[in-house]
A and B are shown apart, each in its own frame.
Chain A
Amino acid sequence: GAVVSQHPSWVICKSGTSVKIECRSLDFQATTMFWYRQFPKQSLMLMATSNEGSKATYEQGVEKDKFLINHASLTLSTLTVTSAHPEDSSFYICSARDRTRSNEQFFGPGTRLTVL
Chain B
Amino acid sequence: DAKTTQPTSMDCAEGRAANLPCNHSTISGNEYVYWYRQIHSQGPQYIIHGLKNNETNEMASLIITEDRKSSTLILPHATLRDTAVYYCIVRARTNNQGGKLIFGQGTELSVKP
Chain A residues within CB distance 8 Å of chain B:
1, 4, 6, 32, 34, 36, 43-46, 49, 51, 91, 93, 95, 102-110, 112
Contacts and interface: CB of A to CB of B under 8 A. Distances in A.
B97 A51 contact: yes
Contacts of A112: 41
Interface residues of B, number: 21
Q: Mostly helix, strand, loop or mixed at chain A's interface?
A: strand
Given A43-B87, A102-B93, A108 B105 contact: no
Contacts of A95: 43-44, 101
Task: Tell me if B's interface is mostly helix, strand, loop or mixed.
Answer: loop
Contacts of B46: 1, 104-107
Interface of B: 36, 38, 41-46, 87, 93-95, 97, 99-106
A36 B36 CA distance: 15
Contact of B44 (A32, A45, A107): A107
Nearest to B104: A43
5 pairs of A and B residues whose beta carbons are closest in the complex: A107-B43, A44-B103, A107-B44, A43-B103, A109-B43
Given A32-B97, A49-B100, A102-B93, A107 B45 contact: yes
Contacts of A106: 46
B53 to A, nearest CB: 16
B44 A44 contact: yes
Contacts of B101: 34, 46, 95, 105
B45 A46 contact: no
Given A43-B105, A103-B95, 18 more contacts: A1-B46, A44-B38, A44-B44, A44-B103, A45-B103, A46-B100, A46-B103, A93-B43, A93-B44, A103-B93, A103-B94, A103-B99, A107-B43, A107-B46, A109-B43, A110-B41, A110-B42, A110-B43
